[in-house]
Amino acid sequence: KDDNGDTALMKAVREGHSEVGNELKLRGVDVNTKNKNGESAHQLSLNWDLIAATTSNDVESARHLLQQGASFLGKNRFGDTGLHLSALHGHDDIVELFLDHGAPVNIRGGNQGTPLLLTIECGHLCTARILLNRGADLELCDSNGRTALMWAARVDYPDIVGELLVR
pLDDT number for residue 88: 96
One-letter identity of residue 66: L
The low-confidence residues of the chain, meaning pLDDT below 50, are none
Angle (CA) 89 92 96, round 5°: 125
Tens of pLDDT, residue by residue over 69-85, are: 999 999 888 889 999 99
DSSP state for residue 109 in the 8-state scheme:
-
Question: Could you give the 3-state DSSP secondary structure of residue 167?
Answer: coil
pLDDT number for residue 21: 87
pLDDT number for residue 18: 81
pLDDT number for residue 97: 98
